[in-house]
Structure 1
Amino acid sequence: MAVNPRSDARLLILRALYKQPGYVANQEVLLAKLRELGYPFTRDVLHIELAWLDQVADVIVDQVSGGVHIATLTGDGLDVVEGLREIPGIRRPRPDELQG
């Protein structure tokens, strides 16, 4: 099965939030993590993915001054990262990626 870059990146966004204190990160932290892992997303593309995740209740996205996006992992997103829930459009974690 081919890997969908967007579904893979969405899981990586959730995993990056999982590893942050309070499960919260701003767009610059998320962009750095994605780029480190080989996903050269622009801010616009990240904003699109965050909006998608916000709609399916995996993250809560807030905008602060200057248009900076801050994302917070929800319980549903935590369940995805821990492999307890599957959501179409987000790659399921491999066993070696499971958190918890």
Structure 2
Amino acid sequence: MTDFNEFLTQDARLVILRALTEQPDGRLNESLLSQVLDVYAHHRSREWIRQQLRYLADLGSVKITEVGPIMIAAITRLGVDHVERRTELEGVKRPSIGA
């Protein structure tokens, strides 16, 4: 993976975590996450989004539930801590101060 592709992937993972923290219950399905990522110019396939959710789940920053063919992500305390700059997750862009 090129450095720029890695940068884009890390940024997209942060967008996913931020989107989840903005939800009252901390959850979104892959379809809604696809729409959120599109807003931030991360136009990726559903399978790519699923790969990122699995990566984030392996880190412990999200929990994944599959309901039929749909993947639902729920943010964990670790994911919130990253978004709020209390910890750093490898492979996820660090949030800007005050963002």
Q: TM-score, normalised by structure 1?
A: 0.91
SS in 2 for 1:22: coil
- Residue 96 of structure 1, CA deviation: 3.1
Give the match for residue 31 of structure 2: 28
- Residue 29 of structure 1, CA deviation: 1.1
1:81 aligns with 2:83: yes
Structure 2, gaps ≥5 residues long: none
C-alpha distance in 1 between matches for 2:17 and 2:57 = 11
SS in 1 for 2:25: helix
C-alpha distance in 2 between matches for 1:41 and 1:75 = 26
Q: Map residues 1-100 of structure 1 onto 2, 5 A cutoff.
A: 4-65=7-68, 67-97=69-99
Residue identity opposite 1:24 in structure 2:
R
C-alpha distance in 1 between matches for 2:44 and 2:23 = 20
Number of residue pairs aligned between Structure 1 and Structure 2: 96
Structure 1, gaps ≥5 residues long: none
SS in 2 for 1:25: strand
Q: Name the Cα RMSD after superposition.
A: 1.5
C-alpha distance in 2 between matches for 1:80 and 1:92 = 7
Tell me the percent identity. 32
C-alpha distance in 2 between matches for 1:90 and 1:19 = 18
C-alpha distance in 2 between matches for 1:37 and 1:96 = 18
